Amino acid sequence: MLRQIFILTALISVSFSTHAKEGMWIPTLLQKYNIDEMTQMGFKLSAEDVYSVNHASLKDAVVLFGSGCTGEVISDDGLLITNHHCGFDQIRKHSSVAQDYLKNGFWAMNQSEELTNAGLTVKFLVKMEDITDKMLNKVTDKDENVAQLDTTKQNLERIKKEYLSGSSYSADIKPLFNGNQYFIYIYEVFKDIRLVGAPPVSIGKFGGDTDNWMWPRHTGDFSLFRIYAGKDNKPAAYSPNNVPYHPKKFFKINIKGAKEGDFTMVFGYPGTTQRYIPSQAVHLIMNQSDPAKVAIRTIKLDIWDAMMQTDPKIRIQYAGKYVSAANAWKKWQGEAKGLNRLDAVNVKEKAEREFQEWVMADPERAQNYDSVMEDFERLYTKFQPYQLANDYYTECIQRGSDIFTLAAKLETLETTTDQIKLSTELKKVREYLISYFRDYDSKTDEMVWSALLKKYVENVTPRFLPEKIIKLIPEIGSDKFIGKTYRNSLLTDSVKMNKLLADFDARSVKELQKDPVYALFKLIRSQYQTSAEPTYKSLNSAIEAVQKKYTEALLQMNSGKKLMADANLTLRVAYGRIEGYKPADGVTYKCFSTLKGVMEKDNLDVPDYKIPERLKELYRAKDFGPYINESGEVPVGFCASNHTTGGNSGSPVLNATGELIGVNFDRCWEGTMSDIVYDPDQCRNIALDIRYALFVIDKFAGAGYLLNEMKIVK
């Protein structure tokens, strides 16, 4: 049965529509499933122009930037553009109070001034291939889930070795349709990536959290990097002798502008969607998980925000952490609201009743799938309290405070007995401490640690808490408790920590075990690992097995229809049109924003709406250069009906001839539930108009020399 799924999906036919629908499509399958619809909507290229292993294609200008964004190459010298928020951490790491590139921006005026970024990589996809038969070799429906996982893991390692033999490439193998299909992705990974330019946050993050996930947007969310290679044009570790990489393909930049209704295509690396989860999962997300995580992060973000406003050093230290935490925090709020607006649980339940009717209409289907919906109900009922415990543990303890994150790193030193492994772990921890204390403020973290610890012990079910902690609940959060615990910990002191690690032995382990913060972390962690985590993982594994079976059945039920595989941080194509939407009764949003709108938001009382004086001067003088629309205004952003998600940040937005017209950076607030349920009337991606990026580079920053290496279509 498992192997039949590939055959079924290969037979899926193309359905036509005049407007874009939901979908993040696999590039190798465009010719079969999408190209006719794309052409009907105005696309001028072929499927082979988009993806090819035989000649340079659009895929060769798109990269996986870092570990979770997209970028695109825009010159023959490896110049790359992505979002400002994707390059934010690199910009922040180069910043100091004396040289604040976040506040003031950074622009290299020649290649010698470009800044190196240790650990940053970009990946070019060399090829992708369906390997379902190979991955499911010797896997049968009769195997228990654990046995299936063991077999597929063995197959995975064997297949990777087979594909990478004799090459310097890397490979990822990813499941699609909840494990009913598998693809392998071969990458060429470049490791010398240098910062070229970034506007100040007052442009690159204009609107901040006030406007995040909202339309209309007026942010210049871009940054520039350059890919360097060895003299053979192959990936190489950083060296001053490296040279700019010459790509197989780079995007031409179109500044003629697009108009409402024009075809657009987003080509990038969307992270995660959950389109096939059942009604019980939607209910859990909407009514429990999202609200709990929002409440916890609100506490942390409020503390960070208040402290960042008191000291520029703290602002730089916590800027990256704040942006990352706030992004998901606001998304979860919109997601829950959107799911509720669409009555998503009832919509799912209706579809599930139709599914059950289809199952029972055939004896063989009934034998295979009759128990699926009952299994979901039974498992999610059991899962609910463990999911809540996991959310609280993750948000309050595992990812809550800096000091508990450090405690988790130190735990490996206590448990490692092999001296060679211990030496390796010590090196990792020492390196971690450098960045840790650079971005750590004890007072700020003390407040976060205390508040989240109090939130945890007051909201987690008592059976998931250590007995000692339960007795301490009235005391937790008091100055006395903080004093004898947090302020008495060596984990707050870089000198003491380095001394502890300098000659790490059995006595060091004992000293670590006696540390009040470390001991508290271990106590909480041990209880969670004993009382919650095993059951959480077991139930999650059981749910995944039922989900795989459910998706298998859905593929059969929908044979002959075009179905999207959930996003999994692999290269996908989404296509649509530039178009606005109506978010509420009596409200209509147009699809373009301009520099005029930036000026209209100017408000010194709102930190997110402070505008650089230089930008105001350019606006007053109408010194816009060629970067204007038909009304003589500088375009800033546009929204379109391309289906996107996290990971699509930085993705190229292309016109009908494959030219770059924008850089994707967000979704609208009303469409944040699109990872689960898609609403074609309100789901919109938000993109930076490439003309605004060029205007900022040329007119604002005075780095117009960079435009000389681009191919600009006027």
Cα(93)–Cα(68) distance, rounded to whole angstroms?
A: 18
Phi, psi of 168 (to 5 degrees): -105, 15
Instruction: Check if 85 is active-site.
Output: yes
Which of 85, 218, 283, 643 is catalytic? The answer is 85
User: How far, CA to CA in Å, does 492 sit from each of 89, 217, 485?
Assistant: 23, 40, 11
Cα(166)–Cα(386) distance, rounded to whole angstroms?
A: 46
- Evaluate whether 213 touches 20 at the Cβ level (below 8 Å): no
Long-range contacts of range 483-488, CB-CB < 8 Å, 24 or more positions apart?
484/516, 485/516, 485/517, 485/520, 486/403, 486/446, 486/449, 486/450, 486/516, 486/517, 487/446, 488/516
Residue 586 backbone class (left: φ over 0; alpha: ψ -120 to 50; beta: rest): left
Residue 58 per-residue DSSP state:
G
With H, G, I as helix, E, B as strand and everything else as coil, classify residue 130: strand
Strand partners, 587: 584
Instruction: Check if 643 is active-site.
Output: no
Q: How far is CA 246 from the centre of its chain?
A: 28
Sequence-distant (6+) residues with CB within 8 A of 547 are 178, 276, 277, 278
Secondary structure (H, E, C), 522-542: HHHHHHHHHHCHHHHHHHHHH
Sequence-distant (6+) residues with CB within 8 A of 201 are 84, 102, 103
Residue 675 per-residue DSSP state:
G
- Using the structure block, give the residue that is written with the tokens 């389109």: 275
Instruction: Check if 289 is active-site.
Output: no
Report which secondary-structure segment, H or E, holds 411.
helix 402-415
Which of 289, 593, 649, 674 is catalytic? The answer is 649
Which of 100, 211, 221, 689 is catalytic? The answer is 221
The residues annotated as belonging to the active site are 85, 221, 649
